[in-house]
Structure 1
Amino acid sequence: MIARKTWREVRGMTIAYFLILEALIASAILYWPEIAENLPQLGALKNMLPGEFMKRMFQGIMDSGFPAYVTVQQFFKGINIAGIACAVLIGTGSISGERENGTLDMLLSRPISRSRILFHKWWVLALCVMVPVYLSSATIPWMELWIDPKTIENRCSFGGLMHASWRASLFCLFFLTLTMLFSVFLREQVKVAFAIGGIIVLQVGMFFVQVLRHYSIFRLSDYDVYWPMMIGNRDFARTFWGEDIWLIVAIGALYGATWWRFRKMDL
């Protein structure tokens, strides 16, 4: 019952989120032939780019072509923007939205525990954030057929796309759970959005400052992370036990704090 109610509330946003991801990657792929044609001339711009990581992205596109370009467009740009935005948007209203609308007391009056209420809301929202990432990435091989095959020397590996999607979706889930934590502590949605927005702005700002990049959480969703996954240089087990497991632990800790607060909070 809780799961169905939650899905009805966010299904429109979930579909819109998927369509935004599709529009972003489709427009990028359709633009690739023009970029590929002018890539040699664009090489002179590399040294003008700020930051070593941006130079590496540009050099990766020059060396590896289409797969590196898709890595930047789908994962570094598209999901880091649209995915996190969706996670924050639906997470903001998860609890504080119910409180503002006056439906939280009705929700808690149901003959089920608060723990189950929170869990059923969380897993539905988690799927709404994560599944569109996989679906959008799965359409990329089909979109490759839209453009001149002569402009694509190497195609994207489906396994690589799914591996990168796993990390990207996990990263979005982290922000969803963090937003839900703020949603149970703060009574108004605007305050939740302001708090999460401040954290994201701070972390993005640190990411683009060379001496501070190491301390930004966005290092976990960087081109340097996704590109080895895309070309199969980092197997799933290695990345899972090396970095993913810590993201999962962090998500678990955030969910635990959310659960603790939700069980004790007043209306």
Structure 2
Amino acid sequence: MHTKVLLQKEMLENWRNKKWIWVPLVFLLLAIMDPISNYYLPQILESIGGLPDGTVLELPEYAPQDILLMSLGQFSSLGVLLIVLISMGTIAGEQKNGVMDLLLIKPISYRSIILAKWFSLLLLVWTSLFLGITASWYYTNSLYGEIEFLSMLLVTFYYGLWLTLVVTISIFYNAIIQT
């Protein structure tokens, strides 16, 4: 019962902090960067004056799966960094501000607080991941070739498990570190 109320509090706090707007936008940007930039790279090079005389640049032909993997590579580096940054002060910040003391005075367990923070962050990350991979899938299908929708869902699921581990480790270290 307490976990549900605390989850609503965390979701509202994420909305007020605009995390529900900028985190999915960052994931969308990371996801569509590779399909668009690799497809239009020859036109970009020509528009800036081309290459010096005698320079030969042979760009590889990418398969649709390669492009989707490039987007996942962006999530592996910058996406994980973003997740760690948004979850860094989750519990320690509330301990420092005294919000945790106000919550623990009531008959609420520390476990309920941690679970609510963990689950609200997971909802944000999974939603952002799904939107990002869907955008990458759309541009990959439009520019490079067809990838099945079921394959995209499986990639999202398995990569979401990896990001769940990242969120879990981040929340764990937030919970054990005292400010």
TM-score calculated relative to the size of structure 1: 0.53
Counterpart residue number, 1:262? none
1:6-61 Cα deviation digits (max 9, x unpaired): 112323224212101212233322223335889x8135xxxxxxxxxxxxxxxxxx
Counterpart residue number, 2:36? 30
Root mean square deviation of aligned Cα: 2.6
Counterpart residue number, 1:41? 58
1:105 to 101, 107, 111: 101
Q: Is the 8 A contact 1:3 1:120 kept in 2?
A: yes
Q: Is the 8 A contact 1:134 1:165 kept in 2?
A: yes
Establish whether residue 89 from structure 1 lines up as the match of residue 52 from structure 2: no
Establish whether residue 130 from structure 1 lines up as the match of residue 136 from structure 2: no
- Measure, in 1, the Cα distance between the counterparts of 2:22 and 2:171: 21
Structure in which a larger fraction of residues adopt helix: 1
**Equivalent residue pairs, number:** 161
Q: Which runs of 5+ in 2 are unaligned?
A: 46-56
Displacement of 1:144 in angstroms is: 4.8
Counterpart residue number, 1:182? 173
Q: Is the 8 A contact 1:126 1:173 kept in 2?
A: yes
Q: For 1:252-263, what aligned pairs fall within 5 Å after superposition?
A: none
TM-score calculated relative to the size of structure 2: 0.75
Displacement of 1:141 in angstroms is: 4.2
Displacement of 1:108 in angstroms is: 1.3
Against the structure 1 CA distance between its residues 144 and 93, is the aligned structure 2 distance closer, same or farther, given a 3 Å change threshold? same
Against the structure 1 CA distance between its residues 88 and 8, is the aligned structure 2 distance closer, same or farther, given a 3 Å change threshold? same
- Measure, in 1, the Cα distance between the counterparts of 2:91 and 2:40: 46
2:12 to 5, 8, 19: 8
1:173-197 Cα deviation digits (max 9, x unpaired): 2121111121122123xxxxxxxxx
Provide the secondary structure at the position in 2 that maps to 1:41. coil
- Measure, in 1, the Cα distance between the counterparts of 2:37 and 2:156: 22
Against the structure 1 CA distance between its residues 130 and 120, is the aligned structure 2 distance closer, same or farther, given a 3 Å change threshold? same
Identity of aligned residues (%): 20
Q: For 1:138-217, what aligned pairs fall within 5 Å after superposition?
A: 138-144=134-140, 152=144, 154-188=145-179
- Measure, in 2, the Cα distance between the counterparts of 1:35 and 1:157: 26
